[in-house]
Chain A
Amino acid sequence: MTLEILHIDRARPYPPRVTAFTQHFWDSVAQGRLETTVCDDCGRFSFPPKPFCPHCWCTRTHWAELSGRGQLYSQTLIHAAPATFRDEAPYRVGIVDLNEGLRIATRVLSETTPGLDVPVQIVVLLYTDGPLFAARLSE
């Protein structure tokens, strides 16, 4: 499933560090896919992706694509921002429970205060220097 890609004409305020392992994750996001790791042994998902399973400590995992759909568990609008995010304030962040049973933290795209437990979908934010992602209320 391909996620919608929104182009943002500036650099990320605080880019994530990319390792030889997480490069696959960020490259996939840039191409519109949200992927993470699944344990070869117990079958459980992890997020962030890891080269081992945090649940059973098995060291064999594989990449799997996520639906990018879930529910908004909570959210807040941040007015008092760290220096590097000052130009974006106020901005909205939230916690999303993905349908695959994973909880993630991300930006939330909503002009007004959204209700909780509403359906959301992940979209890609493609900045000039690389990707991030965000949750948008489902239509």
Chain B
Amino acid sequence: MTIAATILGTAALPVGKWQTAPGTVPRVLEHEVLAKLVMEAVADAGIDKSDIGSMIFALPRPYTQQKYFATFMANYLRLPCSGTVAEMMGNGMTAALAFQAAVDEIRLGKTKVALALGVNFETATSSAEHMMSSMRATGDVDFHVPFGFTPISWYAMDAARYIHEFHSSREELATVAVKNRAHAVLNPIAQFRKPITLEQVLAQAPIVEPLGLYEVPARSDGAVCIVLAAEDVAKATGRPYARLRGQSFFHEGAHQISEVPNDMIALVAAQTAGRGALAEAGITPADIDLAELYAPCTIVEVLVSEALGLAPRGQGARQCAEGQTSLGGRIPICTSGGLQSRGHPAYVTPLYSFVEVADQLRGRAGARQVAGARLALTSAELGNYNAAMVHVLEAVQ
């Protein structure tokens, strides 16, 4: 029998613009920001520094000057580890891979306590320059990139296809942005907290048609530390925790598009990983109390909610417009505000998802608390959901 892993402590930097350009004085630097969060997360967990045996980092952005960041931090924190110290990378899935690697450290008995942590600083680089790098991560450098595809252009094509197939509309999809902003208003660590209307969303400048500025993710800096512990350690603290109940990963073996024409907006990877995680947890989508989905654009939240069985196929946008995915609705989605409004420091975004569900499952989400939240689901992805990782977590009070 494998050892059950739990989330016992969390700490997160409010998402926003923190990065300072080279040459400015004083600088805001990644290691100082993250070390402070490590102290806070360890205090939140009620464990001792000496309990920690592994640290799995999200790889920092290339703009972070300190290389081999994980080993630099092992020294900065003066933390000898007998498990693993490493950095993970997998595009948007990066932080979910770090989280899962930390879980595996516990499940394999390499340590009783592991940290999943990371810092994503990028906003001192302009979007046009940043895309010179990110376009090469979300496309074939020789057969996609020369045409000018950008990371979110693939999601925009999902939106066009969804509108075409299901007689939806930009207006219907845009209700996701309004709903997520309403959630972010209640989240102290969200990047954008001023309420917005549907009219305001539709009036924004086009970015990748049919999506405008408020329907796509912001550029963000962020940092998170999560303390994971074996369940016996969590139980001994007497504090509430979130137990990992199911996890699954699937890569469809395609990069942005499949050369064999398929139903691109079915998100096969999310369907498959979702089924796997729910099966391991022994539950159905109807049992889920809230879902924190990795959805850079409005359309992606709709597609993932359908792929995971949280909404019927072709009705995800309509159900959002009806309020079914809002706080107080049938299945609240992205109570944090999601990637459009909580913010999207991409390499640590999934860690923010785990922070949100851990807050919800420990009953401390404040004004955005889902009453009686017991089971929560998270998703992470890369490409155009060519790969997905889904986790199911359970409240233990």
Contacts and interface: CB of A to CB of B under 8 A. Distances in A.
B208 interface: yes
Interface string A89-119: 0110111010001111111000001011100
Interface in A8-34: 12-17, 22
Contacts of B258: 103
A105 B160 contact: no
**How large, as a class, is the contact surface on chain B?**
35 or more
Nearest to A46: B259
A43 interface: no
B128 A81 contact: yes
Interface string B255-276: 0111111101000000000000
A77 interface: yes
A102 B145 contact: no
Contacts of B188: none
B261 A116 contact: no
Contacts of B206: 77, 79, 90
A83 B145 CA distance: 13
Interface in A67-96: 73-86, 88, 90-91, 93-95
A82 B148 contact: yes
Nearest to B213: A80
B261 A73 contact: yes
B156 to A, nearest CB: 4
Contact of B157 (A45, A80, A95): A95
B232 interface: no
B147 A83 contact: no
Contacts of A66: none
B199 interface: no
Given A48-B140, A101-B260, A101-B261, A81 B150 contact: yes
Given A75-B160, A76-B160, A82 B143 contact: no
A132 interface: yes
B260 A76 contact: no
Interface stretch (B129-137, B306-314, B330-338): B129-137
B15 to A, nearest CB: 20
27 contacts: A15-B146, A16-B142, A48-B142, A74-B264, A76-B153, A76-B209, A78-B208, A79-B209, A80-B150, A80-B208, A82-B131, A82-B150, A83-B126, A83-B129, A90-B206, A91-B148, A93-B153, A97-B261, A102-B259, A103-B258, A103-B261, A104-B143, A105-B144, A105-B256, A107-B147, A115-B164, A134-B147
Return the 9 tightest CB-CB contacts between A and B, nearest first.
Answer: A76-B156, A82-B131, A74-B157, A16-B142, A77-B209, A83-B128, A85-B148, A48-B143, A116-B164
Which secondary structure characterizes the binding site on chain A?
mixed
Interface residues of A, number: 46
Given A14-B146, A80-B150, A83-B129, 6 more contacts: A93-B148, A94-B157, A103-B261, A104-B143, A105-B139, A134-B147
A90 B206 CA distance: 10
B160 A13 contact: no
A106 B147 contact: yes
B83 to A, nearest CB: 37
Contacts of B262: 103
B149 interface: yes
Scoring B142, B146, B147 by chain A CB atoms within 10 A of each residue's CB, the highest score goes to B147
Contacts of A90: 206
A117 B129 CA distance: 34
A95 B149 CA distance: 11
A57 interface: no
B142 A22 contact: yes
Given A74-B157, A91-B148, A132-B146, A103 B141 contact: no
B235 to A, nearest CB: 49
A105 B209 contact: no
Contacts of A46: 259
A74 B158 contact: yes
B153 A78 contact: yes
A115 B131 CA distance: 28
B256 to A, nearest CB: 7
Given A76-B156, A103-B259, A12 B146 contact: yes
Contact of A79 (B129, B143, B144, B208): B208
B143 A73 contact: no
